[in-house]
Structure 1
């Protein structure tokens, strides 16, 4: 694993869980799998702090454990899951898009707590919605949304304890059967309603709790299914690309085909399963405002477009179509890399890079002729791209002695290598953005705290129906220079947050393509 990836994981752990968890996570990244004893020695932290940090990481599905070669449990950090901390806002936003505010809060609770029982999630979300809205939301409505999330596999069960011998210092066996992964347990809704409307303190509730007051799902925990969200995000990227290139109607047709193929094919296959034209007609007319005569032209445009979003595999029955996921992702990756080349080196370098992507292998003289750039400039741009490792050179000798005078070189683009290099630079950029955001917040901590105090006082005054004069006096506690500094700080922090989301979106497409290449 690269240093840039380690640094990004480390700063994300610190941002979400604090310095102690960051220290344990960084140790696990550097040393690999480690038992508890070595973690305590290397971290120089008390036993209880190390245990608590490991519990937090296991709770959030960031650490896994297994029995090592000496018979003791060894802990391993899941760095890919740690990087997903950067993508949590996108998961929450997509849940809101699909299932409204209730779905958003359910996913937010699961991401915040790592693992939770169904009854606990339903209770917390119901309470939050009741506090936020005057009308409130019933427990049944929240439960129905949770069930929908499970049925569409956005939420899945966690592994449960299979065997554990307390007398032997070995790791417990955790497992979950596939048939039980999305099985909905029974919960007592009347207990959730009772706890929601009760004003008794939690300690008193625990003392009087009986067997009848316990939820039947107290040992069944749920977590967010990241793979399912990634499948959805990938489809959305393809649909967005179709909308930008060919219009919203083409995007609606592609969305319908992806939905039809979703349940019948492997979500990570290079191509989806085949969908007949008749199925497309029926589904598109039913789900969208597109009329039947408009569909065949759009299908033709989608199949003939250079983006390779759709392929026609057979002509029987009017046509059989499949979504070529791998080719479409390759087009997206090439567009991302060309954008990077243009931003860093200019439009002429981008022209040379695009030419090599199209023609595969070219000599220096061929590049000069086809790019229509002066020979001197072409050499400069080509070798600049070669020096920055965006281009590779393939040596082709005319004779066996490999003499320089009888050897020529073909330039080409190794898309996998360039893709990995851009991902590494995205790791560095994301780490720098988070570090800069932390620095901005730390440097202006006093001003931000002062603003929070002033806002709290103003809110209290308004609740007590105070005069506008009193409110104005409190607002004047923040001077005009301080307001300008606060405005500048918020603007910078917002830009850094947006840049992190955009970097994550880029990294998502690039890593998807790398995984498909594997």
Structure 2
């Protein structure tokens, strides 16, 4: 029964195969006849022709395979299987193209069936791109003749693509833009200018009152006259061009188009005239300097220094400026600084080498201020840490005493450190000599004479030689000197010492170079150690040759000198390791370490300019990555490598979309990381005939970062002072509690249990659990602020050093 059913099914299948095979044979013959009649197409191979050919071949191969299967043969290794798979793959690849052209094919087939074409086929831009060939039929003959010639490449036209953006993101961006416009409103700025104008009128009234009271006419200097003339001119120009646009000003109150459409020339203008950017940067430096001095010396000294930061001058001019400043200050409104306080403030600033004085041609003593000396106060903790790392705790204490007092004699410094740390004088003296030998401390020039009450200092002297006689007074005399003057002298009176900030700057520069060449956390410990020791030997050999901090290149250093330095400083590295490390540094330091000769085992040079430039570039890239994203860093590096590029070129080279490229470029341009240069094809600079090139001006970017860093440091110092003032009562109670607990702990009449009980009661009495939590939070905040200040100071030092290098190039 089963055999009959199988034979019946097999007969039915054979009949179906024979029927379909005959139909297929007829179709194949028709296709072959159509293909034979089809000529060569000038426009290329037709899509339908390709599909017909492949379909015929595919059906032929299937027929062959079916015949083999009907005969009972195996087709597992038959070559027709591969050929059929090939034709099927081509057909599958053609299917998406046919799907895109479905509308045109349907219209053509419909027109053929109906006998006429109702409408010409219309291209669909959202599915296919067609060449924009709109030539008439009369030119087809000419095109056939020119077909064999070389044609000019015509890029395809850009199609409009719909950008699907979420509505919430649009609303968020609109709200942010509205907030920025509201914060940058010139209405608020006009109120600020009115406030400043009221202050100016008050200063003018105060000036007139001073002249009437003292029967003297105060003359304006040339700088003041020029400043007033420029201010009046700027106000008049702003009034002329103010058309009521209240939403197009930045935080400084200046129009957004003033300094973004046209870049000011560096070499243009009269000599000595600062650009607007330089004036703004100097204002940030003044604000930071004032906050630093107020933190270290108080309000009075900071007001005197602020008067000198505006302009140098004699004591009467300083008094006049201070009187106007104090009268306009909200805190000191009803108090005028007396002359003794001003003189005392000048003496304090001179003691710390911040203020200098000299006598002019009119025999008046003019006071001037050194901004670099003020900015050095913020790196004092790091300098003390450097001294402690190199020479121990006694050297750190010596640096602390010299920084606290500004300048001291050698004998006073040694006695103060020995008394504070309870160390012998000989040990402290040895550390003092080592610091002087390493040039971390320096002597101040001695007074040789006086001229009209102004001291005259010696000009030729060695600032690093120790005095011949020190510590001559006995310890008993030193104890009596607390109450009265010691009768016997020390032997070095009049020879004062101070911290040598330039030497610390050189050490910090070398330390930053070492961190650049050998980053922390290196994977190969042995190689990292040999590289570190080799760079240290290079830097220590270069320390012997005293040079300014902004030296572009070090002097050539031979391998023999390096090995001698290795033995003297016990760096524990062999010569083969040094040679291997030098080869690695020359190849992979990106130009920081170069080989300049072969004498003496090889001459090597350290390029400090290249090192500081790479450090600044790392800071800038880190800021760009934090503020924007990593793709903006890609654009920044591309502009640094290629120079001036257009927006389309940047888009192609970075392989990003046009929208993303424009957004990142405009954001970087707004932050000041890149600059633009308009190039006009004509002299009128019309927008249609002008193209804009983007480029990186690294010195200009670093100047902006100097301004931001100064502002950040000022905010850190102000916040730290506020925290100290806010938690003053808690810290005072803690100090008092610790003193009582030390007294209890030192009492020998009490046993251990009684001591613990009393100490717990005192702690609970002075500080509750909430107070202890607040105090711990305050300590963590102070630690974070101090760490942030240290890092900002390092970055600011690198930025300022880079600017010094760039100025030396000009």
TM over 0.5: yes
The structure with the larger Rg is: 2
- Cα displacement (A) at 1:332: 0.9
Are residues 411 and 498 of structure 1, via their aligned partners in 2, closer, same or farther at CA, if it must alter by over 3 Å? Answer: same
Alignment partner, residue 134 of structure 1: none
- Cα displacement (A) at 1:120: 0.9
Aligned counterparts of 2:600 and 2:613: Cα–Cα separation in 1: 30
Q: What value does the CA root-mean-square deviation take over the aligned residues?
A: 2.1
Aligned counterparts of 2:776 and 2:726: Cα–Cα separation in 1: 14
CA offsets 1:249-289 (integer angstroms, 9 cap, x no match): 21211111122223236344211111223433454477333
- Cα displacement (A) at 1:146: 1.3
Matched, 1:113 2:395: no
Matched, 1:476 2:759: no
Alignment partner, residue 422 of structure 1: 705
Tell me if the contact between 1:123 and 1:192 (Cα under 8 Å) persists in the aligned partners: no
| Structure 2: gaps of 5 or more residues | 1-278, 323-335, 523-527
Alignment partner, residue 301 of structure 1: 584
Alignment partner, residue 47 of structure 1: 339
Aligned counterparts of 1:115 and 1:283: Cα–Cα separation in 2: 33
- Cα displacement (A) at 1:422: 0.5
Are residues 193 and 201 of structure 1, via their aligned partners in 2, closer, same or farther at CA, if it must alter by over 3 Å? Answer: closer
Are residues 57 and 362 of structure 1, via their aligned partners in 2, closer, same or farther at CA, if it must alter by over 3 Å? Answer: same
Scaled by the length of structure 2, what TM-score is found? 0.59
Matched, 1:19 2:307: no
- Cα displacement (A) at 1:193: 4.3
Tell me if the contact between 1:162 and 1:173 (Cα under 8 Å) persists in the aligned partners: yes
Are residues 201 and 76 of structure 1, via their aligned partners in 2, closer, same or farther at CA, if it must alter by over 3 Å? Answer: closer
Alignment partner, residue 471 of structure 2: 189
Alignment partner, residue 529 of structure 2: 248
Secondary structure in 2 aligned to 1:164? Answer: strand
Alignment partner, residue 547 of structure 2: 266
Decide which moves more: 397-406 or 376-385.
397-406
Aligned counterparts of 2:737 and 2:641: Cα–Cα separation in 1: 60
Aligned counterparts of 2:702 and 2:440: Cα–Cα separation in 1: 29
- Cα displacement (A) at 1:237: 0.9
Aligned pair partner of 2:380 in 78, 82, 88: 88
Decide which moves more: 83-92 or 368-377.
368-377
Matched, 1:215 2:497: no
CA offsets 1:123-168 (integer angstroms, 9 cap, x no match): 11121221xxxxxx33222222212211221111112223214xx3
Are residues 484 and 138 of structure 1, via their aligned partners in 2, closer, same or farther at CA, if it must alter by over 3 Å? Answer: closer
Are residues 282 and 331 of structure 1, via their aligned partners in 2, closer, same or farther at CA, if it must alter by over 3 Å? Answer: same
Are residues 289 and 181 of structure 1, via their aligned partners in 2, closer, same or farther at CA, if it must alter by over 3 Å? Answer: closer
Alignment partner, residue 672 of structure 2: 389
Tell me if the contact between 1:265 and 1:273 (Cα under 8 Å) persists in the aligned partners: no
CA offsets 1:96-132 (integer angstroms, 9 cap, x no match): 11111111111111111111111111111121221xx
Secondary structure in 2 aligned to 1:476? Answer: helix
Matched, 1:34 2:316: no
Tell me if the contact between 2:284 and 2:707 (Cα under 8 Å) persists in the aligned partners: yes
Are residues 248 and 370 of structure 1, via their aligned partners in 2, closer, same or farther at CA, if it must alter by over 3 Å? Answer: farther
Aligned counterparts of 1:280 and 1:55: Cα–Cα separation in 2: 46
Aligned pair partner of 2:506 in 215, 231, 234: 231
Alignment partner, residue 796 of structure 2: 507
Aligned counterparts of 1:278 and 1:201: Cα–Cα separation in 2: 53
Residues 383-462 of structure 1 correspond to what in structure 2 (within 5 A)?
383-398=666-681, 402-462=685-745
Tell me if the contact between 1:95 and 1:104 (Cα under 8 Å) persists in the aligned partners: yes
- Cα displacement (A) at 1:233: 1.0
Q: With a CA cutoff of 8 Å and minimum separation of 6, indicate the structure with the bigger relative contact order.
A: 1
Are residues 138 and 6 of structure 1, via their aligned partners in 2, closer, same or farther at CA, if it must alter by over 3 Å? Answer: same
Secondary structure in 2 aligned to 1:382? Answer: helix
Are residues 350 and 143 of structure 1, via their aligned partners in 2, closer, same or farther at CA, if it must alter by over 3 Å? Answer: same
Decide which moves more: 152-161 or 277-286.
277-286
- Cα displacement (A) at 1:449: 1.9
Tell me if the contact between 2:540 and 2:565 (Cα under 8 Å) persists in the aligned partners: no
Tell me if the contact between 2:472 and 2:491 (Cα under 8 Å) persists in the aligned partners: no
Tell me if the contact between 2:471 and 2:491 (Cα under 8 Å) persists in the aligned partners: no
- Cα displacement (A) at 1:402: 4.2
Decide which moves more: 145-154 or 182-191.
182-191
Are residues 400 and 9 of structure 1, via their aligned partners in 2, closer, same or farther at CA, if it must alter by over 3 Å? Answer: closer
- Cα displacement (A) at 1:494: 1.6
Secondary structure in 2 aligned to 1:172? Answer: strand
Tell me if the contact between 1:285 and 1:292 (Cα under 8 Å) persists in the aligned partners: no
- Cα displacement (A) at 1:231: 0.7
Are residues 433 and 204 of structure 1, via their aligned partners in 2, closer, same or farther at CA, if it must alter by over 3 Å? Answer: closer
Scaled by the length of structure 1, what TM-score is found? 0.91
